[in-house]
Amino acid sequence: MQVVILAGGLGTRISEETSIKPKPMVEIGGKPIIWHIMKMYSYYGINEFIICCGYKGNIIKEYFANYFMHMTDVTYNIENNEVIYHNKKAEPWVVTLIDTGEMTQTGGRIKRICNYIKNENFCMTYGDGLSDVDISKVITMHEQNNKLVTMTAVQPPGRFGALELEGNNVANFLEKPVGDGGWINGGFFVVNKEALKYIKDDSTAWENEPLQKLAEENHLQAYLHNGFWRPMDTLRDKTLLEEMWSKNPLWKKW
């Protein structure tokens, strides 16, 4: 199984960070969020990644080109021109980085990398969301039900605190309640390669015509995930994930 990660967007809602780096390279606990996403998949034994680059994609390429250096302590003996590596760390990853265009929409990015997909089914996600979803269960559901696309559905947390009132008295206060009960796209997909024919060109957003058409033709199903899920859309989201990483990173299974 391969994982396609969409990592080419502009990330305008977190411009404080993305003015100098692509959104997937924004760090949580000293590691790019894309690293956290890849560690999630690697936990389930999925170690081959296709990263759809775009905006400032060269920074993502540099990170993986020098991954060993980023993860290892090193001594340079300048006199002898010698490099000594300490605490050598490596991941069992095969990473393919493809320039899919700076302004290409999400569907167009997937279509551009179709020739790199080896098997009938592949995983796909965005480069800015974390979850404790059981990827193996999503894959199993996809394989058993013979649909073209399986989407993880989640219930986002409420943006503001909620008050439970009895007259003018506050009976209960929830700092981070679940939202209005509606399910939304959680961003962790399993896709049959046949679904790519629903993508027209670079201007096609995966979330619009393709998913809508797949739903109309009964080719789209949802895996309901009731656990942790959090996107990193804003600086506030990044700060919250940073706090969680230092105390209780709910997405960390490795």
pLDDT of residue 201: 97
Residue 63 near residue 7, CB atoms below 8 Å: no
pLDDT of residue 1: 94
Q: Which of 183, 129, 135, 132 is nearest to 156 (CA)?
A: 183
- Quick check: is 254 in a domain? no
pTM above 0.85, yes or no: yes
Task: List, for residues 60-90, the tens digit of each pLDDT value.
Answer: 999 999 998 888 888 999 999 998 888 877 8
Interatomic CA distance for residues 129 and 232, integer angstroms: 6
Task: List, for residues 5-54, the tens digit of each pLDDT value.
Answer: 999 999 998 999 999 999 999 999 999 999 999 999 999 999 999 999 99
- Quick check: is 196 in a domain? yes
Residue 3 near residue 119, CB atoms below 8 Å: no
Which residues make beta-bridge pairs with 75? 84
Task: List, for residues 115-143, the tens digit of each pLDDT value.
Answer: 999 999 999 999 999 999 999 999 999 99
- Quick check: is 201 in a domain? yes
CA 64 to chain CA mean position, Å: 17
Characterise 111 by phi-psi region: left (phi > 0), alpha (psi -120 to 50), beta (else). Answer: alpha
Number of domains in the chain: 1
pLDDT of residue 161: 62
- Quick check: is 235 in a domain? yes
- Quick check: is 80 in a domain? yes
Give residue 202's domain range: 2-247
- Quick check: is 253 in a domain? no
pLDDT of residue 87: 80
Residue 30 near residue 76, CB atoms below 8 Å: no
> CATH number, domain at 241?
3.90.550.10
Q: How confident is the model at residue 178 (pLDDT cuts 50, 70, 90)?
A: low
Q: Where are the beta strands (DSSP E) in 54-120?
A: 73-77, 82-86, 94-99
Which residues make beta-bridge pairs with 98? 52
Q: How confident is the model at residue 174 (pLDDT cuts 50, 70, 90)?
A: low
Interatomic CA distance for residues 139 and 147, integer angstroms: 11
State the residue for tokens 């396609």.
4
Q: Which residue has the higher pLDDT, 67 or 160?
A: 67
- Quick check: is 87 in a domain? yes
Name the phi and psi angles at 195, rounded to 5. -65, -20
pLDDT of residue 71: 86
Q: Which tokens hold the place of 202?
A: 């670079």
pLDDT of residue 69: 84
pLDDT of residue 138: 98
Residue 5 near residue 34, CB atoms below 8 Å: yes
SS3 223: strand
Q: Which residue has the higher pLDDT, 177 or 43?
A: 43
Interatomic CA distance for residues 3 and 17, integer angstroms: 25
- Quick check: is 221 in a domain? yes
State the residue for tokens 């894309």.
34
